[in-house]
Structure 1
């Protein structure tokens, strides 16, 4: 299946430049978006349904029209806007100053109204056109319904995480953690103040070591990443959490949709998004962070924004709506989980210094992925939507039911959630380790026995801002589960965790299941050309995971094959060290998973 880009009538959309160059804004300036705060974007895809959502600043009804196969006449909906108080700006946001940007230039209107409609009665595997008339602006787009499990040929998904958008990303270049360097090339450029790299892109101190800043801003990195995704025409995009730099920070959400359904890009107007809660979606940023034990209202407000924007399929538990959900897309069953609240609550402070683990010691995954707030504190602040994930919880029982059902129907199962359970990075250690971040993903390992038992093909996460693949096979039969950290969408570019505080210390090696990481398995290859350093290949860059599923016919054992390919946007530098263009390149860790007639991996 392939999607074509949407267009905005009322002022034409600027063409998206090839991913080898910086993508131009997808919509024109001025009046082109006058009546849209957020362009129509797609959610909750299925073989017969899809949800179309857009936002305005006045709430006046917009008219949504659908045309396509099986419709004797166009479907027309008059969709009124509902005011979303949770999306209002705070005084702290209105007064915020960001060096390098005109104060308040990133703010939109005061009010945000949501227009949303679930379209049903559509034919599987067909393309439909849609139009949204909002005031004097008309947006025209298209989408495709999912095929049935019996009638499909090829599917393509993109998995991303940790875009962590914020206005500051327009001017901020992140620290570029040093990784492996090819033995037969030159050394990495000097990070000393006044060096050639420092003069062009800057340098900074990370863990006491002076390091390079990445040559693209966070904004540029995400834009080029999304442009490359759009050119691959995926059927859906999985976003495994940390979409924004603080779920309670409204300008962060404005930036996310500016990139995906606004003037910076329009991917989600033709490709549905499957989002997951990340830890940043519970963080208030300038509005109080995680709050205090006596006042967790910043967390409540943060999670409320996620709920305001996204509407997942029902999961049978209204208070957990949007936290976890199932999407069936042809032969695929995609389970999205909420990994943010384990019980009993835990924190690093609970363990005395003499009790804490060191080195590669491991006594168990723990029960909680975050020490930032407890359920009691959250509910005292008025929150009602926390969903525990441990055995016996409502979410756990729901997951087990979905796995049983998917296996009974021969589905291929993919799972996504934010906190990566197997990681060589910052968040790869349990709460009782001396080096814990207090946000380790190890508690989500509790799901691995279920995943292996029911033949989950792959698990997608983020959180450590690594690009890493792990493989876990508990019984040694070769039929384990592949785990990915795809946290390289557009924010930090972290490396592996070290034994000591210095980046020169040895790798900790806390994840024995790691098979590949971009920063260690793909050495940077540098050369000095005319006295200036040039990166020729390798290294860790902004990117995503491409998942291609192909149907196999005439094979007695295999019915499908999944190819998982890690992709990065490689910055090509000119003679002045400026980024001349980026190139879509693939890393050397593409894997293939064969699927049997029950939907199980057989590799």
Structure 2
């Protein structure tokens, strides 16, 4: 294993320049699509097939036609629509008003019908064309089956998190917490040039800039850059929407990924994970109350309605955690939302709470918002504990053992980042805890290191960060990523004090890189004397994972390269964003994989 530093200068020379405006695609590949509520999107890729899903508003049967190797002529499936009552709008959603948008302009029709087909019997590592006909509308697209572990040369994965879509994101520009090098920033004072163009706001008692892109623009630019890279699959490690129980949030997610604003998922399969926001009802009751957790049950039901993951052997926990093998790589998706025994910050008296960098253990629970007993009393039965001895834990250990026996490289994703310098990096018994800290997921670290997991990908703290854990000191450990910069907040590290000018807390001793502190903002003075950003800083982005076959080496079979990517906003003399550029941060990591599928030095 080795860590390779790349030069920003080189990255900017080879940057993919993306115009600010995003053209609405005609379809996934061609044709009209008026009768689709959600365009066809792909799930559950395997060597022999893939799942194709779409949504309509009338439920009339549609047809799916597949053409490609091993299919004589074509294969046609007649796919009926199944009503999804859990996706209906609530009265609160229909009555919602969002400043800057015409009331109700973001709402769709009242009905959601799901059409889904698991296409099987295909050949590994081949490309196929598909056409979906729904009434008078037609959408065409392409997909590829996963290659076999023996016959492959290259694959590319993208990891994203915390898109947290909502209609408000069309007009909302988030606070841009200052990081390293922020002394050269423009004035954040009310009435300043930046304030007049993009706005400013108050954060931790300080006036700060708002980011120059709306949440919606940031996500769409991010997705467009991903689509141009033609990945084999995209990992969405939780917090897809700003409230799993908020239907307009799901409408917005699919508008950007399988709809009028973008169609990445019509050609690239999604591997989603449950985040904490997928259990949140937003304006429909939040997390509910201890007496009534039905908002949480309804929220998680929406996730299950949209996504159908490979089976995990336990029908009760279907979609919560699952395995996908893609060529030489095994991807394990976990549900990190229910730790047991349940815990809460209120369980610790003020004099018992940790301060500063004190640490007594990771704790057992990643959230204090609801308990399993409360959830099940409200009618839910799908919430899976992750702790040792649980059904999910035992499943994970079996999958790791099987992947190791097969010589597979292993990637793991779940939402709550176990090692974080940010908002959710502190355990439940710390005075500064958010009540949703990811430290309890550290319980998996010895298991991951023992089985040679290459990287663990999470989100949650809405940062771009890499940590490295090598508990036995042999130089071969596990890289942990927070990739929570898809299109929502752009947070910085936790501070020692309550103000932004206090020193970083540095609670995460395993941190090796953050966009907030390791990539200083670089500003230069424009003709009018107003600073212009020319490089550095934290921006919306994603993690690109390239896996390449190594031939002629007795000790190495593959090389995994993990590259943090951001979409850099280029400003004109009036501080307006004229385009975004795909750039890479200076923290590219290369992991060489041995014949057992484990990282080697």
TM range (shorter): over 0.9
How far apart in 2 are the matches of 1:23 and 1:407? 43
Residue 76 (str. 1) matches residue 73 (str. 2): no
User: RCO greater where, 1 or 2, for CA within 8 Å and sep 6 or more?
Assistant: 2
Equivalent residue, structure 2, for 1:47: 47
**Cα separation, 1, equivalents of 2:26 and 2:431:** 49
The equivalent position to 1:340 in structure 2, one of 337, 345, 354, is 337
Structure 1 residue 32 displacement after superposition: 4.1
Partner residue, 1:525: 522
Q: What displacement does 1:23 show? A: 1.7
TM-superposition CA deviations, 1:304-363 (whole Å, max 9, x none): 000000000000110100000000000000000000000000000000001100000000
Quote the residue 1:396 is aligned against.
Answer: 393
**Partner residue of 2:504?**
507
CA contact (8 A) 2:169 2:215 kept: yes
CA contact (8 A) 2:32 2:139 kept: no
Structure 1 residue 33, shift from structure 2 partner:
3.2
2:10 alignment counterpart? none
Specify the alignment match of 1:467 in structure 2.
464
Range with bigger deviation, 528-537 or 560-569 = 528-537
Aligned to 1:130: 130
What corresponds to 1:378 in structure 2? 375
Deviation, structure 1 residue 49: 1.3
Aligned to 2:181: 181
Question: Residues 563-602 of structure 1 correspond to what in structure 2 (within 5 A)?
Answer: 563-602=561-600
The match for 1:543 is: 541
What SS does the corresponding residue of 2:401 show, helix, strand or coil? helix
Aligned to 2:232: 235
CA distance in 1, matches of 2:19, 2:533: 16
Q: 1:64: which partner in 2?
A: 64
Q: Which blocks of at least 5 consecutive residues in structure 2 are unaligned?
A: 1-15
Provide the TM-score with structure 1 as the length reference: 0.96
- Deviation string for 1:88-136 (max 9, x for gaps)? 0000000000000000000000000000000000000000000000011
Distance 1:394 1:470 in 2: 28
- In structure 1, stretches of 5+ residues that fail to align are 1-16
Deviations 1:532-573 (A, max 9, x none): 210010000000000000000000111000000000000000
Using the alignment, how far apart are the partners of 1:517 and 1:211 within structure 2?
A: 20
Query: TM-score, normalised to structure 2's length?
Result: 0.96
Which consecutive segments of 4 or more residues in structure 1 shift more than 4 A?
none
Q: CA RMSD in A?
A: 1.0
Paired with 1:493 and 1:388, the residues of 2 have a C-alpha distance of 30
In structure 1, what is the Cα distance between the partners aligned to 2:174 and 2:112? 31
1:19 aligns with 2:11: no
Asked if structure 1 preserves the Cα contact closer than 8 Å seen for 2:33 and 2:138, the reply is: no
Between the aligned partners of 1:412 and 1:309, the Cα distance in structure 2 is 29
Determine which of 287, 291, 310 is the counterpart of 2:288: 291
CA contact (8 A) 1:497 1:508 kept: yes
Structure 1 position 26, deviation (Å): 2.1
Secondary structure of the corresponding residue to residue 301 of structure 1: helix
C-alpha distance in 2 between matches for 1:111 and 1:91: 14
- 2:17–2:581: 8 Å Cα contact kept in structure 1? no
Which among 276, 301, 306 is matched to residue 304 of structure 1?
301
Residue pair 1:338, 1:417 contacting (<8 A) in 2 also = yes
Q: Give CA deviations for 1:378-428 in whole Å, capped at 9, x if unaligned.
A: 011000000000000000000000000000000000000000000000000
Structure 2 distance, partners of 1:555, 1:21, is: 45
Secondary structure of the structure 2 residue equivalent to 1:248 = coil
**In structure 1, how many angstroms separate the alpha carbons of the residues matched to 2:504 and 2:20?**
35
